[in-house]
Structure 1
Amino acid sequence: MNRSDHERLTDELIGEATLSLLKDNGPISMKLLLQRLQQMLSTERDGQRRNVLSQIILEISNDGKGGAQRKPMNEQQEWDTDGRNNSNVYPLFGTRQQADSKKH
């Protein structure tokens, strides 16, 4: 599984856990999300999903604030969102344009 597949599965599993908490009409917290992910892990049969669930739980548990952290991307990696590096062209100065830009 490459990095982008891993990230998609991570997002999918966190989304599933969050949606199941929402369906319960109860409170939502990182503690409850962690518990739900652990429940999912205990019933999951697919090895790949179990692996990713374990990593998510570990990440959340090790983070002092309770939020999962991802490695920051450099600007080129942000621009190349599909991970395939289809183009060798990317913005050097960011994608945001300055509101007060003046031509000289």
Structure 2
Amino acid sequence: MNRSDEERLTDIVMGDAVLQLLQKAGPITNSALLDKLRFMASMESNSTRQKALQRAMAEVMNNMQSSNTEGVTIKDTNNVTHIFRNRDNTGKDTQH
């Protein structure tokens, strides 16, 4: 699979944002990543990187929207995240 230079740069700026969040030892959430990308975009003067940051933000927002419609995420008392996904099963094929 050939990835375009735009896609590679988008992955790079998203990786940079994640690394900055990891260095601060803060939570790595969609919201935190989106905030970091917005901050990076506000400081960026290079138009090519600016476009890559915009694509990265759009990707995170799309992920946030699909996560909200696909299921529920619950953290238990041990800070373990459990993800319950909505499946389009009517129960007809379910065997218990």
**Superposition TM-score, scaled by structure 1 size:** 0.56
Deviating beyond 2 angstroms after TM superposition, the runs of 4 or more aligned structure 1 residues are: none
Q: Which residue of 2 aligns with 1:47?
A: 47
Structure 1 unmatched ranges of 5 or more? 67-104
Q: 1:60 & 1:49 partners in 2: Cα distance?
A: 16
Write the deviation string for residues 20-60 of structure 1: whole angstroms up to 9, x where unpaired.
00000111111100100000000000001001111221232
- Percent of pairs with identical residues: 41
Matched, 1:30 2:22: no
Q: Which residue of 2 aligns with 1:17?
A: 17
Task: Give the number of the structure whose residues are more often strand, by fraction.
Answer: 2
Q: How many residues align?
A: 65
The structure having more radius of gyration, on CA atoms, is 1
Amino acid aligned to 1:49: R
Q: 2:28 & 2:59 partners in 1: Cα distance?
A: 18
Task: Give the number of the structure whose residues are more often helix, by fraction.
Answer: 2
Structure 2 unmatched ranges of 5 or more? 69-96
CA RMSD of aligned residues (A): 1.9
Q: 2:25 & 2:59 partners in 1: Cα distance?
A: 26
Per the alignment, in what secondary structure is the counterpart of residue 27 of structure 1?
coil
